[in-house]
Amino acid sequence: MKAQHIPALDGLRGVAVLAVIGYHYDMLHLSGGFLGVDLFFVLSGFLITSLLVNEHRSSDNINFRAFWVRRFRRLMPASLLVLATVSLWSWSQVEAIQLRSLRMDLMATLGYVANWRFIASGQSYFDLFSEASPLRHAWSLAIEEQFYVVWPLIVWLILRKTKLGERGLLAFCVVAGAASTVLMSVLYSQADPSRSYYGTDTRAAQLLVGAGLAVLAVRHPKAWSPTVASQVLTASAIAIAAAFLFVDDQESFLYHGGFLAFALIAGVGVLASTRTTHGILYRLLASGGLRYVGRISYGLYLWHWPVQIAISDSRTSLNGVPLRVAQVLVTFACSAISFHFIESPIRFRTSWGVLTRQRGLAFAATSVIVVAGLSIAATTGAKAPPDYLTAPQSDVLSVGDFDLDSVPSSSTIGTVVTPVSSMPSWRALGRTVFIGDSVAASLQTALNIEAKKRGLKFMAHTRPGCGVLIGAPATSEGKLFSWSQLCSDLTPEYMKKAVINSAPNTIIWLSSWEAGPRFYNGVLYQPATPEFHQHILDRLEEQISTITANGAMVYFVTNSPRANENSLHFSDPLIDKLEEDLNDIYRDYVAAHPTQAAIVDLASIVCPYTPCPAQVGGVTLRPRDGGHFAGDGPTWVAPRFLDLLEHAVPR
């Protein structure tokens, strides 16, 4: 098979990128649209291997330099444009505590190692309270570029330096592809599949499927008649469409041969599209509109995700269909401009793209350096996120002690001024321990300061991302977080350190992680069900009976709905509802144990009316994500919280 331009392959590229856009933009119910990336992998493996094998057939060699220069001219210009745009956008639109992470994303994308960057960063608790990276999609481009660097060398070694020839190359594709699939299965973790999903080694199978089929196509150029090829293309297209529509990204079978199966189906379709010009499906793929989408597919893929982050419902007055239309139009406009005025002139050396070899290298190097410098400059001023969002889940964040000899000073912003002579003795509370999750952690320093001022013996021990009850928190889909099992395993140790060893008289309990799905003894409990309600009550009975053995009193702090305005524009009425359900469970427990537990209704002062306001008393309490207290919020809340606690003490 001679290397030639095949219109239907442009159409397949168009199908692949439209599937990905539909998936990310939540359009057309394409739950499996993420598999468009796998179709891209197969196409890349097929096309690149076809070029390499045909070049070796014609010249008995492979010109590595020419190959890599072509790849650079094809891929780097559009990528640099997107990176420069993202850098400029981030200058004013990305919060300081996310700039450090974005800088690393920019550098990793520039170096085509973004997939390994995302594996190394893993799934963190901080990610739950951060805006998605505008470069999260760059992982697949990194894998392809790494393939382009290594694969020509492998092809050359097998074809030129061994006697195995093209059969040996085909055998390598089969064996290496199988090994890659096995590795994906072995490394798969339901809690965090990042290593399996983003790894070049685990994703090589899809590229090698395309490569192996390319070898077959070159060796057997007339294996299928046009009629048979048309029928095969139709069958493959039906299977691909079904996968786009019905496969879910949470399916574990994908990591145990599912991705390989899809790649084989897609690969057969790719091969068939090169063997026929018959049939309605071929004519559709070769049609002008779909071919054009395929021609600009690289730009569409590059732009669609940053556009979705920049033009969101939280950043504009748009939502629903108008928002999606705006995102699609901007994506296509940016891609078309990039293709016609940046990519094509450089790729085909037309217009201003005509440069001598030396000037071309200088221009390329300068462009990379400029974009790298711009990325660094745009992300200066980065600030470290608060400890309660970044601390490992194995850590317990602690403040305070039971020594009242020194009283720390604090800001007086929003505080309730109480004359020292009239301060309560707090003897009824005695030794007080504050336990909870990251929301509790966001308050603990301010509470410690206020407690010392009032003469309250106070200590706080919080564990972000875990909560207080034993059990493993899960996502709304019932999947474990990467840290979930650690939370459950360390709960007994946490309760011993935080509570039992302190022998407190009073335990303040503020945690919302118990509101969501959770595993206990291998059973998944879903909220808003009678089983979940009883499960939480049972765990409360078990745990509280242990930590109150010395007669301590437990005060449950009500969880508050998110503030209706926050810098990350987080809002989820479902989460608010589940947390209110948890408040009701706390109330049920208190009703059954009135001498052992009580309620401190923090929500009543944080959210005096609905929707929950961003400001109360002129102070923005939870400015960043609407849930964690920050800025002047903790200082304003602390004295009022302790006033509520005092009034909740049984008289």
Query: Domain coordinates of the chain in residue numbers?
Result: 7-378, 387-648
Which residue stretches of 94-198 are H helix?
96-110, 114-121, 138-161, 165-187, 194-198
3-state secondary structure of 556: strand
Query: Residue 192 corresponds to which tokens in the numbers above?
Result: 């965090």
Q: What is the pLDDT of residue 309?
A: 93
Task: Evaluate whether 50 touches 58 at the Cβ level (below 8 Å).
Answer: no
Residues in the chain: 651
Q: Low-confidence residues of the chain, pLDDT below 70?
A: 1-3, 122-130, 350-357, 360, 390-394, 403-427, 567, 569-570, 651
- Burial of 367 per CB tally in 10 Å (0-12, 13-18, 19+): middle
Query: What's at 376, amino acid-wise?
Result: I
The alpha carbon of residue 602 and the mean position of all alpha carbons in its chain are separated, in whole angstroms, by 32
Strands of 506-510's sheet in order across = 397-401, 458-462, 432-436, 506-510, 553-557, 597-600
Number of helical H runs and strand E runs in the chain: 24, 11
Q: What is the pLDDT of residue 420?
A: 35
Contacts 24+ apart (CB under 8 A), 415-418: 415/450, 415/635, 415/636, 415/638, 415/639, 416/639, 416/640, 416/643, 418/454, 418/639
> Check: CATH 3.40.50.1110 for 387-648?
yes
Q: What is the pLDDT of residue 410?
A: 38
CA distance to 2, 255, 505, 547, per residue, from 498 (Å):
72, 40, 13, 10
Task: Evaluate whether 602 touches 585 at the Cβ level (below 8 Å).
Answer: no
Q: What is the pLDDT of residue 290?
A: 96
Distance (Å, whole) CA 584 – CA 591: 10
Q: Which helix (H) or strand (E) holds 330?
A: helix 320-338
Task: Give the tens place of pLDDT for each residue, 367-387.
Answer: 899 999 999 999 888 777 777
- Radius of gyration of the chain measured on its C-alpha atoms: 30
Q: What is the pTM of this model?
A: 0.83
Task: Evaluate whether 214 touches 441 at the Cβ level (below 8 Å).
Answer: no
Task: Evaluate whether 200 touches 117 at the Cβ level (below 8 Å).
Answer: no
Distance (Å, whole) CA 526 – CA 508: 26
Task: Evaluate whether 517 touches 526 at the Cβ level (below 8 Å).
Answer: yes
Strand partners, 459: 400, 433
Phi, psi of 507 (to 5 degrees): -120, 120
CB-side exposure of 424: number of CA atoms within 13 Å? 17
